[in-house]
Amino acid sequence: MEKRRLGRTDIHVSSLSLGTMTFGEQNTEAEGHAQLDFSLDRGINLFDAAELYPIPPKAETQGRTEEIIGTWLKARGNRDKVVIATKVVGRTENTWFRNDGSEGRLTRAQIEEAVDKSLKRLQTDYIDLYQIHWPDRNVSGFGSNPTIWKEPKPCDDETSIEVTLEAMDRLAKAGKIRQLGLSNESPWGTMRFLELAERNCWPRVVSIQNAYNLVNRTFEGGLAEITHREQVGLLAYSALGQGYLTGKYRNGALPAGARKTLFDRLQRYEKPGAEPAINAYLDLAEELGVSPSQLAIAFVLSRGFTTSVILGATSLGQLEHDMGALDLDITEEIEGRINTLFQHHGSPCP
């Protein structure tokens, strides 16, 4: 498993990483531990969580994912062998994250409460990569990189990036977090974080966790150059388009136990133009004689701005199959065919 440098730090993470948002909902504690063991044994050292998880977010399950990782860390005694990433929620009307019932904001008090709770659930005294799950400000659309601009309504109580960064600086100096990352952020937001960090000697953002896949290449429009110039690498989530790029939902199929079947939360990949685009890539994989899942993951892995591709699975069989993407080479011919399809279909699923 190739190890890639995390930003400008001395931390190196595996090119594939394990997403854990199914732990505590679709996966039991035992199944979560099995996935963690399996991944570590095969060279994965980066494990990604969030205070929000598992998905779908609910008051009664919130925090279970971190708890499952925490019991694994305690049982295995291997904290020094892994890179633990988790996230603090951005602006949200949900009130179950904070003790006083406040809506989620990226204020100093809320961030400090969030990190202390995550540390307790994870049963560790530091977090390697602490990420802002989404912005405090209103943005044009979730993910912050729309293909159609919709003027966001300003928030009267918007927490400034300065306030958030200063809070992160306090956590870093206290030894509670090692590095800072963003998620679902825009080019403007990313550069603003970098500018303020340099000006005030606050923690420098080392990564950005955004959706990136064959039907959502909006990262390339501005963030890719930031990665190249500023070494803020992509931790790519949704490389499989929430399962659509595996082909399992093709022609309206609803497999038992699949996320769409259980929760019907995949509207991001059901927008106008999505189905013909997805089908085009599924057809390409068939023509090439390769797994559509492995083709989709291998493409994201092959991008120069990608630090790690976050895998999400509900079974060890799925996880093992997805890891096979490491053996698939995106040749110039394959990339050319992918890009031809992209010229026709663009990014219908931002």
Residues with a catalytic annotation lie at 53
Report which residue type is found at 296. Answer: A
Residue carrying the six token digits 């399962």: 243
Q: How far apart are the first and last CA of the chain?
A: 29
Helix, strand, or coil (residue 251): helix
Q: At a CB cut-off of 8 Å and minimum separation 6, what does 332 contact? A: none
HSE-CB of 255 using CA atoms within 13 angstroms: 10
Q: Could you count the other beta carbons within 10 Å of the beta carbon of residue 51? A: 22
The alpha helices in the chain, defined as continuous H runs, are 29-41, 64-76, 108-122, 161-173, 187-200, 223-230, 259-263, 274-288, 292-301, 316-323, 332-345
